[in-house]
Amino acid sequence: MRKLVRILKWSGLLLVVAILCLFVAGSILYNKKYDAPIPDLHASKDSLVISKGKHLVFTTAHCVECHFKPGDSLKVVSGEEVDMAGGGFPFKFPGGVFYASNISSDKETGIGNYTDGEIARMLRYGIKRDGSVLIPAMEYQNLSDEDIIAIISYLRTLPPVVHKVPENDFNLLGKAILAFLIRPVNPKSTPPVKVLTDTTVEYGHYIAENVSNCKGCHTERSQNTGEYIGEELAGGLFEPVENDPTKLIFAPNLTPDPQTGHIYNWSFEQFKNRFVKGKLIPQSPMPWGQFKNMNETELLAIWKYLHSVKPVQKKIGAVIQDAK
């Protein structure tokens, strides 16, 4: 019996030491540097390119959802066009908090000193100017060259906004996650130079997967690391309701399963009208304010795509549920 107690005691001590070593190593390695090519993509002054970039930033790619100026949150939720780029929106997770950057042309607090290639590298490879990894809140790795150029072209038209965003604040768990679990994500394949804008399933797949990131919310992820752990687009637990840990937010199942698919029986008109209505559930994290301004071509393509994916039988229930 005493021998067993000693074994358990030393095993527990070794476990504590191992955990401490993990966290210490994480605190040292969390800000390590990575390398990736700088895309040979450059901003354009063509008004049509800039207009397309503005539509991406304010609507389909919904950049404004996080990078708006402080004080404009209600306007963003309602879908109004705002003076954006101030940044500072906080993202909280068990490992701490990180903030959306100031992406205005200010040279001290924004991206005014970044080259076009450095901005393109952040979008495509998730690597900051200093080589450290971006928290994977933006999944734009597979954007076409044309769309990245359009976004950069529009950002270059933004006036400077002097607003210093707080430094990211990670605890020991967050640093360990950054050191050992978070890595830059490369494109799945060679990104297209451009994508044909039409109402096909292929274009719907491009928007849903690479631009609007439907997968990011409607595929269940680990609450600690953000890693995908569920069937694609089948919904699941998304996050706790902000400031109310007794409630949880669940993303609906968007697959065309006859029994559990949220939009299986929806006509295109129903689908389109739901977007037009904007945010109906106050706690919903979906950027309804931006998506309500999608055009009919985009919505029809997405609707076709969502009805073409693999059906997954997964009952979700209400969007807001009591924590168990």
What distance, in Å, lies between the first and last C-alpha atoms of the chain? 39
Tokens representing 259 are 């029994």
- Neighbour tally for 1: CB within 10 Å: 5
Distance CA 221, CA 236 (A): 8
Query: Which residues have a Cβ under 8 Å from the Cβ of 231 and sit 6 or more positions away?
Result: 219, 220, 255, 310, 312, 314
pTM of the predicted structure, to 2 decimals: 0.87
Residues 276/294, Cβ–Cβ less than 8 Å: no
Residue keyed to tokens 């969390």: 30
Q: Indicate the pairing of strand 236-241 with strand 169-170.
A: unpaired
**Along the 324 residues of the chain, how does pLDDT read in single tens digits?**
444 434 434 444 444 444 555 555 555 556 788 889 999 999 999 999 999 999 999 999 999 888 887 778 888 888 888 877 677 778 887 888 888 889 988 999 889 999 999 999 999 999 989 898 887 777 899 999 999 999 999 999 988 888 888 888 888 887 877 777 778 888 988 999 999 999 999 999 999 999 999 998 999 988 777 778 999 999 999 888 887 888 999 999 999 999 999 999 999 999 999 999 999 998 898 999 999 999 999 999 999 999 999 999 999 999 999 887
CA–CA separation, 146 and 193 (whole Å): 6
